Amino acid sequence: MLHDTHADEIAELRSTREEMVSNLGEELLGKYLHIRTAYPDAVVKVRKGACAGCYRSITPQVIIEMRRNEQMFICEHCGRIIVDEETIASVGV
């Protein structure tokens, strides 16, 4: 029974991932896959004004621009894709 629950969760997560990947453009997907070769956590949150991957500060101006949700942002130090916690909460991810 527990195994079935995990299998169902995995299947649902894979389905969600496939849907998300299909919504990305080839350029964004390529960037993500390239970053993923260096870091298993290619996408990280900005927490308390810092990249959750390398803990380096992100400037307030970049955080403001991130909240517009118009483009992808890369941490200048570690190269991971960074996303704002508030933006994630607002879209329900």
Question: What is the extent of the structural domain holding 88?
Answer: 39-93
Which pLDDT score is estimated for 60?
A: 94
Which pLDDT score is estimated for 20?
A: 80
CA distances from 27 to 24, 33, 66 (A): 8, 10, 19
Mean pLDDT per 10-residue interval, the chain, length 93 residues: 76 87 84 92 94 96 90 94 82 58
**Same structural domain for residues 44 and 33?**
no
Chain segment 70-90, per-residue pLDDT in tens: 888 999 999 999 998 877 776
Q: How many separate domains does the chain show?
A: 2
- What's the pTM value of the predicted model, to 2 decimals? 0.74
- Under 8 Å between Cβ of 84 and 93: no
**Same structural domain for residues 50 and 33?**
no
**Same structural domain for residues 46 and 91?**
yes
**Same structural domain for residues 19 and 54?**
no
**Same structural domain for residues 72 and 56?**
yes
